Amino acid sequence: MAKQKQARRLEGVEAMAKVRTLRTSARKLNLVAQSIRGLNVQRALNELEFSHKRIAQDVRKALYSAISNAENNHNLDIDSLVVSEAYVGKNLVMKRFSPRARGRATRVEKPFSEITIVVRELGEAA
């Protein structure tokens, strides 16, 4: 017996892309996600293109993926897409050791984070 098909979590006019292992802290990534929330996708792509943050290029790839999902999987018009949600979560943390004075060592934590981008098609009424 097959598993029951789960209902779609998003509405019919939405598409999503998620990147799970970005090598930066969630706090730094949230600054970039905050800059594109609520923007038109073309404006958001321009914002990420000229951002000085290193992680902005990976967020730009994720936004391109969300746009492609909207176009190919859900037949949405890419000219009327808006970034409705862009939220960040924590992921794994690599733990390393750094040598210190007098034979000691301290732990260095290298965090990973994840970003989820949801794009929505605005209708003619909006």
Kindly state whether residue 4 falls inside one of the protein's structural domains.
Answer: no
Q: Residue 124 — very low, low, confident or very high, per pLDDT cuts 50/70/90? A: low
Say what percent of the chain tops pLDDT 90: 87
CATH number at residue 28: 3.90.470.10
CA 71 to chain CA centroid, nearest Å: 18
Say what percent of the chain tops pLDDT 70: 98
Distance, CA of 5 to CA of 29 (rounded, Å) = 33
pLDDT of 123 > 50? The answer is yes
Provide the domain count of the chain: 1
Kindly state whether residue 1 falls inside one of the protein's structural domains.
Answer: no
pTM of the model: 0.89
Kindly state whether residue 9 falls inside one of the protein's structural domains.
Answer: no
Kindly state whether residue 5 falls inside one of the protein's structural domains.
Answer: no
Largest CA distance in the chain: 69
Kindly state whether residue 7 falls inside one of the protein's structural domains.
Answer: no
The parent domain of residue 57 ranges over: 14-121
Identify the pLDDT of residue 4: 85
Identify the pLDDT of residue 125: 46
Q: Which residues contact residue 29 at a Cβ distance below 8 angstroms, ignoring those fewer than 6 apart? A: 22, 55, 59, 88, 113, 115
pLDDT in tens, 41-62: 999 999 999 999 999 999 999 9
pLDDT in tens, 58-110: 999 999 999 999 999 999 999 999 999 999 999 999 999 999 999 999 999 99
Kindly state whether residue 115 falls inside one of the protein's structural domains.
Answer: yes
Identify the pLDDT of residue 110: 97
Kindly state whether residue 3 falls inside one of the protein's structural domains.
Answer: no
